[in-house]
Structure 1
């Protein structure tokens, strides 16, 4: 079940991306038979509803998780990686998503930045797990993990994204090796391209 606030946000994002023609009207038009934006979005399978990954998807998810553990062991040491789910519809507005549950008690930090939320899951579109999409899958996965620190517009979220980009770019050889493994579903060659 998607909370009302997120249903509205997802429906608006879906409308911006879709080829559907829909005019937003006031709530009073419901009495005249006009559907809500949310109803139209649902009709066209536009919501980011999740499911568990299938076997082949799980292999790619595990690769993302293993790579993340190598890339940012200091993050994983203070906050375990959440389970990864799959967004059911490729028509959904977002390539990735998560839910943020405020933390209480002792606040852990990653590189001096407070972790504010527990993520019960991270979800990705199945198409991101294709053999040609390592960069997109990894960047979307890391983006969703960064929500431990805040929402898309928060300063701490932005700061963590910069930290994650820095550590990723500083490990270009490792990224190239894992991209090769991702593309070939094989073993690491040990050589950079």
Structure 2
């Protein structure tokens, strides 16, 4: 049955679904369901229709009072929104909150959780990452490469699905050995690497010598600490500070490694 003409619609969410508030049909959604919260009032009395934010608020309000079995069924119908995240930190125009509320309601029942997982066994949680966390960004990049090789076996979903017992994309990749897959370089890759090695020897031969131990060590540690974040991140600063503290506390060991460094240089000079 199609929705009759004349119902208010939201431009980005126009569809067969209808949302009611204050005993009036004031909004729309793409999924063909009717949601009613007659206690909901428009914040702007000059408007005669909902915004997307109003519609999301209606959906969340209704979902807050649903039993677990109905929530499970409804969650399945809204599958296209399982990977929804707000575009902004406090964005309210995303289906994220609605999906999260349904998941919470489902999680109250062990039986409904089990049924949902049985019908949807191949979901992986992909948390929203901060751009400043270089380490997690790198893990995500390699995990996505692994996921691509799985030929659409898995579907990514928002972090709320962790409540239903689903593991993260990164954990699934780790469990499958996706991070440790080592591929031997091809012939052309070996030749490319040789060119880079030749360039390094030609242009940077004075950079690494028996007298450059301390500068090489500081550069190496600096780059190593970038696993935890960029130059301006608090995590990077903290880890770098800890690394310096460890160096100071182990100064006697550093001198031994300096001797090894010098020995390498002397051997090469011969």
Give the TM-score normalised by the residue count of structure 1: 0.33
Hey, which of these two has a bigger chunk of helix by percent?
A: 2
Q: Which one scores higher on RCO, CA 8 angstroms, separation ≥ 6?
A: 1
Give the TM-score normalised by the residue count of structure 2: 0.24
- Which of the two has higher C-alpha Rg? 2
